[in-house]
Each structure stands twice: as C-alpha cells, then as structure tokens.
Amino acid sequence: MQISNPQQQMMMRMAISEVFQKMFFMIPQEELVPAAEKQYRCFVPIAHKQQDTLKLCLNIDWELAMQLTKNFMGIQSSQVTDAQIGSTVLEILNMLAGNFLNQIDPEGRYALGIPVTGDPVDGDISVYEELNFESHRLAVFLRGSIL
Amino acid sequence: MAYNILVVDDSSAMRVVIKKVLHMTGLDILVFEAGSGIDALTVLEEQWVDMILTDIHMPQMSGVELIEKIRSHQEFNTLPVMVISTEGREDFLSKTQKLGVAGYLKKPFQATELRNAILAILEEHNADIQPAATNDDEDGDF
C-alpha cells in the first residue's frame, strides 16, 4: 500500500482513536488480524471547488460493526438490526471524517458530505490506516489527495 | 417542570444516544425527534419546545439553515439551540455564534459532557430548574 503522506496518516489514526476511545471506550490493538469476509463498507464525499470530490472510505468487519451498534444503542445482540448497524457505522464514519478534516483543513476549504453505504473504486488512495479493535479489523482510507 | 426537547439528527443511532443522555439528566423531559431540518420545522409548527439539539451535516436542510430559519421566526428567535456536530472549524464556529447558538459540543463526546452542557443551557434559560445530582465519577457510558 503506497502512503503518500505519513502526517495525514497520523492524523487519520488520531481521529480513529479519538472516536473509539470517547464513544466506545476502546483502544486499538497492536497486532493486526486479517479482515473478515463479511464487512460493512461505506464512504463520505469531501468536496472542494477546484478538484474532484474526495472520498473517505470505511471498511469494517461486520462483527465489529455489530458490537459497536450494541454498545452505542445499549441493546442486546439479538435485538440488533441491519438498519441499526448501518446507522451506527455511518455515524462513526461521519465522526471520523469530521475529526480528520478539522485537523487537516482548519481553514475550511473542504466541505464534508453525507456518509452513504458503498465501496467506491475511483480515485487513488492517498492515505490509508487500518486498526484492530476487539480482534476485528477496520480500515479507513482516502481516495483522492488533499491539496 | 417538564421540558420539551427536539433532537435533530439524520442518524437514528445518534438520536438514540442523545435521548439516553437526556434521560440521564433526571429531569422530566419529553423528547421529540426529527431526521432532518425540514422535519424539525414540521415539529415546531405543531409543538412548543424548550430547546433544540441539532446536528449540522444533514441532507435536504443543514443544521445551519435550520437555525437561520428558526431565528427568522419571531416566535422562536430566542429559543435555545445547541449544536452537536463533528464540525469544529473556525469558519463554522463563528457562523453559528453569529446565529446565537446557546451551546456547541463536538462529536465524539462523552455522555457526561453532553448531560452537563444540556443542564447548563436549561439552567440558564429556566431559573426554576432543579437539575438532578450529577456524579462525575460515573464513567459516562451510554
């Protein structure tokens, strides 16, 4: 995986850590495990007047998504629905993206869009970070480059 | 005293979390929900509320547009509005300040931060409020 900007990767890592520590009391594990076959994939557009829209993408193991939903909404595993998982993961992405942008673009040149489910393939990956929580994998990456 | 509070967020998961925190205040609170700024205006046409908690990045009508609409109505121009958003950039913060928001909390937040912010705003706008005893030793779990 080609990483063009280690500083932006560090900011991404900080954004992920802040969201997971504050909202879920989880800290990332050092060792990476392989990504699960079943994942929830989503992205949020990040727009700029002078370039194509960037996309911040989140791929998260389904099992981790389910655990986060359970904790976030205070419900039992048996009560968790796919719609609740979707809503929780999209909100997590919204918080990650907001925190990342606050650090990387304090001047407000980029506008954060609305997170949606999907797995875009267009645009080179310029920042990539993957972490493990509770022995499950999540990856966050930016398609397109911050100017 | 009972309070009517309107929670505006396009994330149903986040609305659940905010409702839980509102119940943690120990106050008698009736919660109304809206998934967009447009839905929020519909609620306001039918229901008096004492406070609005709103997200900013929402489809159809953003939180900023919602606050602008609210402020343009004489009936609502002093209604306390608290912004709960991932957005923390200077431009945005000064824009919301100009619109007279009563408070701002950045996502992600801990439950105790939100509870204390809500109580502080209600206290400021309602002299007779009796906030529930707060225990900051709680872990702030949702």
Q: Parse chain A into domains and list their residue ranges.
A: 6-25+36-143
Asked if the Cβ–Cβ distance from A102 to B11 is below 8 Å, we say no
A97 touches chain B (CB under 8 A): yes
End-to-end Cα separation, chain A, in angstroms: 20
**Length, in residues, of chain A:** 147
Asked if the Cβ–Cβ distance from B107 to A98 is below 8 Å, we say yes
Q: Which chain B residue has its CA at the smallest distance from A99's CA?
A: B86
Identify which of A22, A73, A99 has the shortest CB distance to residue B13.
A73
The pLDDT profile of chain B, 142 residues, written as one tens digit per residue, is 789 999 999 999 999 999 999 999 999 999 999 999 999 999 999 999 999 999 999 999 999 999 999 999 988 989 999 999 999 998 888 999 999 999 999 999 999 999 999 999 999 887 555 555 444 444 555 5
A105 touches chain B (CB under 8 A): yes
> SS3 letters for chain B?
CEEEEEEECCCHHHHHHHHHHHHHCCCEEEEEEECCHHHHHHHHHHCCCCEEEECCCCCCCCHHHHHHHHHHCHHHCCCCEEEEECCCCHHHHHHHHHCCCCEEEECCCCHHHHHHHHHHHHHHHCCCCCCCCCCCCCCCCC
Identify which of A22, A71, A114 has the shortest CB distance to residue B108.
A22
Identify which of A88, A98, A108 has the shortest CB distance to residue B86.
A98
What tens digit of pLDDT does each residue of A57-116 get?
999 999 999 999 999 999 999 999 999 999 999 999 999 999 999 999 999 999 999 999
In sign, the C-alpha dihedral spanning B89, B74, B54, B57 is negative
> From the candidates B10, B55, B56, B57, which should be mutated to test the interface with A, based on the most A CB atoms within 10 A?
B57
Taking the domain B3-125, which CATH number applies? 3.40.50.2300
Taking the domain A6-25+36-143, which CATH number applies? 3.40.1550.10
Q: Parse chain B into domains and list their residue ranges.
A: 3-125
Identify which of B13, B91, B139 has the shortest CB distance to residue A87.
B13
